[in-house]
Amino acid sequence: QVQFVESGGGLVQPGGSLRLSCVASGFTFNMYYMRWHRQAPGKERELVAEISTTGFHVNYADSVKDRFTISRDNDKNTVYLQMNNLKLEDTAVYYCTAGFRNAGWGQGTQVTVSS
C-alpha cells in the first residue's frame, strides 16, 4: 500500500523558513521521481518541485525558484522541501507524491504565511 506522510508545516511570518518532510512507503522509493505539490484555498493543486531518482535533476515552479530547495534521502525513503523567504502567496496545503500513475496523495501539511 503506497503511503505518503507529510510533516513540518506551520505558521510563519513573511520572510521566514520551514522545512517539510515526506516519508514514503509501499513502493521502491529510489526508482521514482518525487514531487511536491500545493493547493491553496479556492485554487487547483499545482506542482511546486520535483527531483529525480538520484537527486541530480531538480525542477521548480517559477514562483518558488531560488527560494525553495527539494532534496531526498533514499536511505530514509524521505523527500524534503526547504522553503526560505516565504511569502503570503505560499500559504497552502503541501503534498508529496511519486512519479508513477495513481501514486495517490498523503494528508498534506498546512503552511500558513501570515504577519
CA 55/CA 6 separation, integer angstroms: 19
Which pLDDT tens digit goes with each residue over 2-34?
Answer: 999 999 999 999 999 999 999 999 999 999 999
Grid coordinates belonging to 105: 496523495
CA 54/CA 58 separation, integer angstroms: 10
Q: What pLDDT shows up at residue 8?
A: 98
Any idea which residue has 525542477 for its cell?
A: 59
Phi/psi-derived region of residue 63, left when phi > 0, alpha when psi is between -120 and 50, beta in every other case: alpha
User: In this structure, how many other beta carbons lie within 10 angstroms of the beta carbon of residue 37?
Assistant: 20
Contact between 74 and 29 (Cβ < 8 Å): yes
Which pLDDT tens digit goes with each residue over 63-114?
Answer: 999 999 999 999 999 999 999 999 999 999 999 999 999 999 999 999 999 9
* Strand partners for 58: 51
Looking at residue 100, the DSSP 8-state letter turns out to be: S
Q: What pLDDT shows up at residue 87?
A: 98
Contact between 48 and 81 (Cβ < 8 Å): yes
